């Protein structure tokens, strides 16, 4: 679960907890701290040579306020998991959030992120540019957490005739075998405006091995 360390959305934890129970998984909260705007030049020495390094000003009131807020959010995360009887871990990543989260995704089965997660001072849309970058560059499947979550009634798969779209359907199915009793709708959009019979037959045969209620 990706978290803006100074602005945690507790509603996303409800959705993440559902997925964790479904898959019997541990929740890892990745708390992203954006240090780019806090860096200042610091003179350091190594082997008798002086050099300039960029570091956060830990003595500033703003930094200390943010640190206290981050620690409070981490406590809220841990308490939320404990209340839902979920096992959790916390990774506190300091640096450039995009790079930090992409690196975390390399070692994750699934990444859940809130659509509004952004480290810009001004609103940049929903999903934010940060979330769009994560969707295209992450090294594991990404799910955007809904604003409100009460359960899963239907799963919609989109297919556009490529190997990557079928691979995504397979990965979702392998990650969430506990959803096999849900209604499945498969949507394709193409220039002809209709399904190709061969594709439809092959997809349906594959889906029948995993789901019971399938429509196109």
Pick the last residue of a domain from 145, 165, 187.
145
Residues 119 and 48 in one domain: yes
For 140, the domain range is 2-145
Q: Which residues pair with 113 in a beta bridge?
A: 144
Mean pLDDT of 172-183: 95
Q: Are residues 136 and 103 in the same domain?
A: yes
Give residue 123's pLDDT. 80
96 shares its domain with 120: yes
Confidence category of residue 120, pLDDT binned at 50, 70, 90 = confident
Question: How confident is residue 196, by pLDDT bands cut at 50, 70 and 90?
Answer: confident
pLDDT at 214 over 90: yes
165 and 138 together in one domain:
no
- Residue 31 has what pLDDT? 96
Q: pLDDT tens for residues 155-172?
A: 999 998 889 999 999 999
Q: Does residue 196 share a domain with residue 111?
A: no
What was the pLDDT predicted at 13?
Answer: 92
Based on the fold, state whether residues 11 and 100 are members of the same structural domain: yes
**What SS3 string covers the chain?**
CEEECCCCCHHHHHHHHHHHHHHCCCEEEEEEEECCCCEEEEEEEECCEEEEEEEECCCCHHHHHHHHHHHHHHHHHHHHHHHCCCCEEEEEEEECHHHHHHHHHCCCCCEEEECCCCCCCCCCCCCCHHHHHHHHHCCCCEEEECCCCCCCCEEEEECCCCHHHHHHHHHHHHHCHHHCCCEEEEECCCCCCCCCHHHHHHHHHHHHCCCCEEEC
What's the pLDDT at 51?
Answer: 58
CATH classification at residue 13: 3.40.50.620
121 and 14 in a common domain: yes
Q: What pLDDT score does 133 carry?
A: 96
pLDDT for residue 46:
66
* Cβ neighbours for 122, distance < 8 A, ≥ 6 positions apart: none
Total domains, the chain: 2
Q: Are residues 141 and 160 in the same domain?
A: no
pLDDT at residue 38 tops 80: no
Q: Model confidence at 137, in pLDDT bands (50, 70, 90)?
A: very high
State whether 86 and 30 are in the same domain: yes
- Evaluate if residue 106 carries a pLDDT over 60: yes
User: What pLDDT is attached to residue 179?
Assistant: 95
Q: What's the whole-model pTM score?
A: 0.82
**pLDDT number for residue 55:** 62
Task: List the single range of 81-85, 190-194, 204-208 with lowest mean pLDDT.
Answer: 190-194
Decide which of 84, 119, 145 is a domain's last residue. 145
Q: Tell me: the pLDDT tens digits for 41-96?
A: 555 666 677 655 556 666 667 778 888 999 999 999 999 999 999 999 999 998 88
Structure confidence at residue 45 (pLDDT): 65
Q: Are residues 103 and 24 in the same domain?
A: yes
Closest by CA position to 110, among listed 88, 133, 140, 130: 140
Which residue among 84, 116, 145 closes a domain? Answer: 145
Other Cβ atoms less than 10 A from the Cβ of 16: the count is 25
**39 has pLDDT over 90:** no
66 shares its domain with 94: yes
Asked whether residue 108 falls in the same domain as residue 177, the answer is no
């Amino acid at each position: 679960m990706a978290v803006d360390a100074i602005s945690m959305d507790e509603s996303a934890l409800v959705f993440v907890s559902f997925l964790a129970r479904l898959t019997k998984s541990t929740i890892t909260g990745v708390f992203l701290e954006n240090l780019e705007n806090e860096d200042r030049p610091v003179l350091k020495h190594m082997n008798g040579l002086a050099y300039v390094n960029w570091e956060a000003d830990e003595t500033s009131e703003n930094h200390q306020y943010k640190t206290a807020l981050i620690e409070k959010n981490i406590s809220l995360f841990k308490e939320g998991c404990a209340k839902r009887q979920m096992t959790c871990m916390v990774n506190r990543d300091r640096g450039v959030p995009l790079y930090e989260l992409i690196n975390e995704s390399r070692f994750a089965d699934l990444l859940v992120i809130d659509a509004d997660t952004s480290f810009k001072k001004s609103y940049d849309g929903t999903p934010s540019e940060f979330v769009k970058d994560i969707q295209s560059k992450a090294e594991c499947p990404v799910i955007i957490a809904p604003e409100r979550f009460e359960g899963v009634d239907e799963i919609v798969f989109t297919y556009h005739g490529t190997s990557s779209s079928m691979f995504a359907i397979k990965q979702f199915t392998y990650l969430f075998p506990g959803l096999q009793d849900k209604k499945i709708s498969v949507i394709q959009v193409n220039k002809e405006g209709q399904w190709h019979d061969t594709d439809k037959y092959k997809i349906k045969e594959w889906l029948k091995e995993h789901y019971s209620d399938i429509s196109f």
